[in-house]
Amino acid sequence: MQITLIGAGFCGSTLAVELLRQGGPDTRVTLVGQPETFGRGVAYGAARPEHLLNVRAKDLGADAAVPSGFADTLALGERGRLDFLPRLAYGEYLQSRLQQAAEAASGLARIEEEAVAVDRVPGGFQVLLANGEDFFSEVVVLAVGALPPQRLAGVGPRLAVDRRYIGWPWQDGAIDTIAPEARLLIVGAGLTMADVAVTLRQRGHRGPITALSRHGLVPQAHLEVPGAPLELPPGVHQALRDHDLRGLVRTLRQLSTVVDDWRRVVDALRPHLQPFWRGLDLATRARFLRHLRSHWETLRHRLAPSVAGQLQAMQAAGQLRVVAGRLLRARVGVGDVEALIRPRGADSAWLGHFDVMIRATGLDTDIERSSHPLVATLRDAGLIGADPLGLGVDADAHLRLRDRFGTPVTGLYCLGPLLRGQLWEITAVPELRAAARDLARRLLSQQAGAGRGAADADGDLREAG
């Protein structure tokens, strides 16, 4: 059975390693991805030296059975295992791990080219590449990671193509063209904003920076030394079992008042969130997204202490200002960018003037709005359906993609952030590596079943003969 993985970032490379490690000599895996970030992905391949991981080295092993694998590979000592290392180092680790697996098994084919279409054909799928070539595969796994950022609502057509609007700060060195004295508007106040601010600070930027987001919340920081693991009390477990969102929030608030650090509560909750989310109805999920999502993400997706310290220093100096509000309109002005902003809770708006506007709104998984070539082609062909809340794709409990009619597509799977609609917590290494391991087992068991079926059929034919 030919298994094709589209996307050679963390998800694709980790799943490829699992398939090669768990499978036998007949396992055939094709890994398709962009040449410039092959084996590392955008998050770790397009990072800059000052961009740090948001998780301690000791917890970042790509093998679910060996969480310390990353730190072990680097032979880090006790203190080094608690550090937040450069993302580039993690990309090299992923690339090296893939190379070692490929050398140990002969079943990996690398295609450093973009996949632009997947068509269903008898017995499987035909995968079309951007260079015009195509090939057949019985199984395809969509592992493209997050989607490219979309143009911001309210951004005028002239501004959208103007050099003063940077839709993706890491593309083609766009951030390096910003003048040190420029007045900046960054739309978004999460992890991407933090990366942009740190890079600007490293470059010696002196101009004022305004970061705008709906709630004006900045990611919280990790502690220098993590707290001890926390055992959740019975009330929290009961709310989780009952899929009671209101009760869970209430019990967590009570718990946070008696625990020495709220981070221990968040970390203890994480292993329970996928089954909890699966049990929530659509209305409850929508309520969470409306009222709690922003608050949860600032607590859940935390910054390395040194990065948080740099942001705090920029705020204390008056260089960085975080504003809660909504961008109503942005357009090209007379030599600048005019942005009409309505502060949160206000009836009126104010007009700001900036030299450069940067989109830094982070993770995008809404396939209905995406212009990603492959995802858009699959969506328009009806081969994949969208999560009703715009969180990604529609998939079943086995990670099989459902088509626009809600029917699982045999042989078509997904791994990564596009599964947020089904799992919610599926954007970080601990959850992704476990999902990769489980999906590899499922695909290989199907391969073994197909092989046994073929052998039985062959035996029946010989006996009949």
Q: List per-residue pLDDT tens for the chain, 465 residues long.
A: 899 999 999 999 999 999 999 987 788 999 999 998 999 998 898 889 999 999 999 999 999 999 999 999 999 999 999 999 999 999 999 999 999 999 988 899 999 999 999 999 999 999 999 999 999 999 999 999 999 888 788 999 999 999 999 998 888 789 999 999 999 999 999 999 999 999 999 999 999 999 999 999 999 999 999 999 999 999 999 999 999 999 999 999 999 999 999 999 999 999 999 999 999 999 999 999 999 999 999 999 999 999 999 999 999 999 999 999 999 999 999 999 999 999 999 999 999 999 999 999 978 999 999 989 999 999 999 999 999 999 999 999 999 999 999 999 999 999 999 999 999 999 999 999 999 999 999 999 987 766 555 444 444 434 443
pTM over 0.75: yes
Query: How far is residue 69 CA from its own chain's centroid?
Result: 21
Q: Which residues of 289-309 are buried (b: 16+ CB within 10 A; e: fewer)?
A: eeeeebebbbebbbbbbebbe
The CA distance from 253 to 102, in Å, is 48
Which residue, 63, 85, 41, 56, is CA-closest to 416? Answer: 41
Measure CA of the first residue to CA of the last residue in the chain; give whole Å.
27
Which residues, 6+ apart, have CB-to-CB distance to 311 below 8 Å? 194, 197, 198, 218, 303, 320
Strands 356-359 and 165-166: parallel
The CA distance from 208 to 314, in Å, is 10
Q: Counting every residue, how long is the chain?
A: 465
Give me the torsion for CA of 284, 286, 288, 291, rounded to 10°: -130
Which residue, 34, 307, 337, 342, is CA-closest to 166? Answer: 337
The CA distance from 429 to 60, in Å, is 6
Q: Do domains 2-148+365-454 and 157-221+302-359 have the same CATH topology?
A: yes
Please tell me what DSSP assigns to residue 190: S
Please tell me what DSSP assigns to residue 380: H
The CA distance from 414 to 400, in Å, is 6
**Using alpha carbons only, how large is the chain's radius of gyration in Å?**
24
> What is the spatial order of strands in the sheet that 350-354 belongs to?
165-166, 356-359, 184-187, 209-213, 320-332, 337-343, 350-354
Architecture of domain 2-148+365-454: 3-Layer(bba) Sandwich (3.50)
What residue segments make up the domains of the chain, in order of their start? 2-148+365-454, 157-221+302-359, 234-300
Residues 375/144, Cβ–Cβ less than 8 Å: yes
The CA distance from 217 to 188, in Å, is 9
Which residue, 322, 326, 301, is CA-closest to 311? Answer: 322
Please tell me what DSSP assigns to residue 57: G
CATH topology of domain 157-221+302-359: FAD/NAD(P)-binding domain (3.50.50)
